[in-house]
Amino acid sequence: MPITRRAALAAPALLLGRPALSQGTSFPTRAVRMVVPYTPGGVSDITARLIAEPLAAQWGQPVPVENRAGADGIIGTEVVAKSAPDGHTLSPVSVGHPVNAAFYRLPYDTMKDFSFLTLTTKTPLVLVAGKNFPASTPAELVTRAKASGANQVTFAGTSGVVRLAPLLFAQRAGIEMTYVPYRGSTQAHPDIMAGRVDIMFDTVPAALSHIQSGNFKALATTGAVRAPQLPDVPTLGEAFMPGFEASTWGMVIGPAGIPEALAAKISADCGAAVMRPDVKARHDTLGAEVVRSTPEETRRFVQAEMEKWGDAARKAGIQPQAA
């Protein structure tokens, strides 16, 4: 069969396993800044710093990490939205990116103003109660909530998915629970242990030490599979509610308009960096699973998350407020 000109031109890209950049295009031509829209020390910040070094080595340019925290990540994310779509401004964001649209009137469009490059991590939540709470399974929790009448089950929440996960659970179970707000999950822990608040959906790393000490009772985790740190605790899908999944996660995004071939290259390079054994090992200590995805897979994932959590917020009567 004769080789066409188009096939000949496509061959190098196929050999590399990614779309080739157009002739005469080079990337990067200067430092690639990694804008972290959160304070230092969180999983997104740690991921950015872990992958910055291998990316800098591969790209031959510095990859400085810049924290631009504030307003639940909105300030730094807006910086990215307004950047040139040339791949030189990237950002590691969390589940807060789509969830913020349920809580705030944003200065950008969550889907239209960004290029979605690759997922980097997933971290499941765990449904916990104090050690003396009468229910020990999700089914028992639902039975108690349905029988409690005016004395509804209370749940601790902070913001984002930690607040929305119990609302989604309650909606699907057909029960009501009373929200008790906290600024951070660690502030809620003493009240859970003392029984002043009944339950909480928290990240596995944040709750793990209290579960291991016996001060927390783990009813279920919320990932697609059991958490490695809690192999004896069933997922909520196994135990009671098939299809239920709620995780915190991380991904790399950039401003909208990054050319397709360049987006594919950045996605592949970031994905390879996060899958390095040393990077994976560090995330294991944080209770986070490292993952990767194509730009199209990443976009579809964000759209599904936005629809799921937006629907849960609307059904709970949450109205977006000024950021």
The pLDDT tens digits of the residues spanning 88-114 come to 999 999 999 999 999 999 999 999 999
Report DSSP state, residue 235: B
Q: Which of 96, 95, 46 is nearest to 67 (CA)?
A: 46
Q: Measured between alpha carbons, how far is residue 175 from residues 50, 69, 80 in Å? A: 42, 36, 40
Cα separation of 49 and 130, whole Å?
Answer: 36
**Is 90 exceeded by the pLDDT of residue 19?**
no
pLDDT in tens, 262-277: 999 999 999 999 999 9
- One domain, residues 47 and 68: yes
| Cβ 284 vs Cβ 277: under 8 Å | no
Domain of residue 153, CATH code: 3.40.190.10
Question: Is residue 149 one of the residues assigned to a domain?
Answer: yes
* Domain with 216 in it: 128-239
pLDDT band for position 10 (cuts 50, 70, 90) = very low
Cα separation of 292 and 119, whole Å?
Answer: 5
Q: Which of 212, 239, 266 is the endpoint of a domain?
A: 239
pLDDT band for position 9 (cuts 50, 70, 90) = very low
Residue 15, token pair as written in the block: 């050999």
- One domain, residues 149 and 191: yes
**Is 80 exceeded by the pLDDT of residue 16?**
no
pLDDT in tens, 190-234: 999 999 999 999 999 999 999 999 999 999 999 999 999 999 999
- So what's the pLDDT on residue 150? 60
**Is 50 exceeded by the pLDDT of residue 14?**
no
Question: Is residue 26 one of the residues assigned to a domain?
Answer: no
Cα separation of 238 and 124, whole Å?
Answer: 14
**Torsion angle of C-alpha atoms 160, 164, 165, 166, degrees rounded to 10:** 130
Q: Which of 191, 219, 239 is the endpoint of a domain?
A: 239
- One domain, residues 140 and 196: yes
What is the mean pLDDT of the segment spanning 176-180? 93
Question: Is residue 203 one of the residues assigned to a domain?
Answer: yes
**Is 70 exceeded by the pLDDT of residue 15?**
no
* Residue linked to tokens 């985790």: 221
- One domain, residues 104 and 118: yes
**Of 21-25, 170-174, 198-202, the least confident:** 21-25
Cα separation of 292 and 21, whole Å?
Answer: 21
